[in-house]
A and B are shown apart, each in its own frame.
Chain A
Amino acid sequence: MINILGKRYYFFLISLLIIIPGMVVLGIWRLPLAIDFTGGSYLEFKFDKRQPPPPAEIVVLFTDLGIKDVQVLTTEQQTIIAKSSFLDETTQTNLLKSMEERFQDTITVLRFDSVGPTIGQQVTQRAAIALAIAALAVILYITFAFRGVEHAFRYGLCAIIAMVHDVAVVISIVAIGGRFFGWQFDSLTLTALLTVIGFSVQDKIVVFDRIRENSVNLKRLPFETLVNHSIVQTLQRSINTQLMTVEFMLLALALFGGVTLREFSTILLIGLFMGTYSSIFIAAPILVVWENREWQRWFKPRASSSAA
Chain B
Amino acid sequence: MTRNTTLSLIIIFVILILSIYLVLPTTNSFLGRTIVTKLGLDLVGGQQIVLQVDLPENTIPDRALLEKARQIVESRVNGLGVAEALVQIAGNRYINVELPAVKDATESINAIKQTGVLEFVDMSQLSDEQAFALIDQTIRTDLEESLAGAVTTPITATSTLTDTVFHTIMTGAMLESVETTTNQVGQPVVSFRLTPEGTKIFADYTRQNQGKILAIVLDKKVISAPRIREPIESGEGIIEGNFTVESANALTVQLRYGSLPIPLKVAETRTIGPTLGEDSLRKSLIAGAIGFAIVILFMVLYYRLPGAVAISAILTYAVITFAIFRTIPVTLTLPGIAGFLLSTGSALDANILIFERLKEELRSGRKLGLAIDLGWKRAWPSIRDSNIATILTSLILFWFGSTFGATIVKGFSLTLLLGVAVSLFSAIVVTRTFLNVLFTYFQPSNYSKWFGL
Contacts and interface: CB of A to CB of B under 8 A. Distances in A.
Given A253-B284, A256-B283, A206 B353 contact: yes
- Interface size range on A against B: 35 or more
Contact of B295 (A113, A119, A142, A245): A245
B400 A126 contact: yes
Interface SS of B by simple majority:
helix
A225 interface: no
Contact of B290 (A109, A110, A133, A256): A256
A245 B348 contact: yes
A241 interface: yes
B409 A89 contact: no
B338 A265 contact: yes
Nearest to B396: A134
A93 interface: yes
A256 B50 CA distance: 32
Nearest to A127: B400
Contacts of B381: 209, 212-213
A191 B268 contact: no
Interface in A41-67: none
Interface in B246-276: 265-273, 275-276
B408 A206 contact: no
Interface residues of B, number: 75
Interface SS of A by simple majority:
helix
Interface string B379-408: 001100111111011101101100110101
Contacts of B397: 130, 191, 194
A74 to B, nearest CB: 17
Nearest to B50: A119
Contact of B334 (A116, A190, A201, A260): A260
B211 interface: no
A244 B302 CA distance: 10
A305 interface: no
Nearest to B301: A244
Interface string A117-139: 01100110011001001100110
A245 B302 CA distance: 12
A253 B341 contact: yes
Contacts of A118: 52, 57, 267
A134 B269 contact: no
Given A89-B106, A245-B349, A111 B287 contact: no
Given A141-B392, A244-B302, A251 B268 contact: no
A281 to B, nearest CB: 18
Given A202-B387, A237-B356, A253-B341, A261 B284 contact: yes
A32 interface: no
A115 interface: yes
Nearest to A207: B382
Contacts of A93: 105-106
Interface string A277-301: 0000000000000000000000000
Given A110-B275, A194-B396, A89 B403 contact: no
Interface of B: 42, 50, 52, 57, 94, 105-106, 109-110, 265-273, 275-276, 279-280, 282-284, 286-288, 290-292, 294-295, 298-299, 302, 334-335, 338-339, 341-342, 344-346, 348-349, 352-353, 356, 360, 378, 381-382, 385-390, 392-394, 396-397, 399-400, 403-404, 406, 408-409, 412-413, 416
20 contacts: A92-B106, A93-B106, A116-B52, A118-B57, A141-B385, A187-B406, A191-B397, A195-B393, A206-B386, A212-B381, A240-B352, A241-B352, A245-B345, A245-B349, A248-B295, A249-B288, A249-B295, A249-B344, A261-B338, A264-B334
